[in-house]
Homo-oligomer: A and B are copies of this chain.
Amino acid sequence: MYSNPNYGSGLHHSHSISSNRGYQSSPSPYPNQTGYGYSPGPPPGADPQLWQWFTAVDTDRSGSISVSELQAALVNGNWSRFDLDTVKMLMNIFDTDRSGTIGFAEFSGLWKYISDWQGVFRHFDRDRSGSIDGHELAEALRSFGYSLAPSLLTLIEQKYASGSSTGYGPPPGITFDRFVRACVAVKTLTEAFQRADTDRDGWVTINYEEFMKIVLNAP
Contact = CB atoms under 8 A, between A and B. Distances in A.
Interface in A60-85: 66-68, 83-85
How many monomers of this chain does the complex have? Answer: 2
Interface in A22-62: none
A209 B164 contact: no
Given A68-B163, A88-B164, A204-B206, A152 B213 contact: yes
A215 B189 contact: yes
Contact of A167 (B84, B98, B165, B212): B98
Nearest to A211: B193
A202 B212 CA distance: 12
Interface stretch (A11-19, A113-121, A129-137, A154-162): A154-162
A68 B167 CA distance: 16
Nearest to A156: B216
A contact residues, range: 35 or more
Interface in A183-219: 189-190, 193, 197, 202-209, 211-213, 215-218
A1 B193 contact: no
A163 B67 contact: yes
A203 to B, nearest CB: 5
Interface in A163-188: 163-167, 178
A146 to B, nearest CB: 10
Which A-B residue pairs are the 5 nearest by beta carbons? Answer: A100-B166, A155-B216, A67-B163, A205-B205, A100-B164
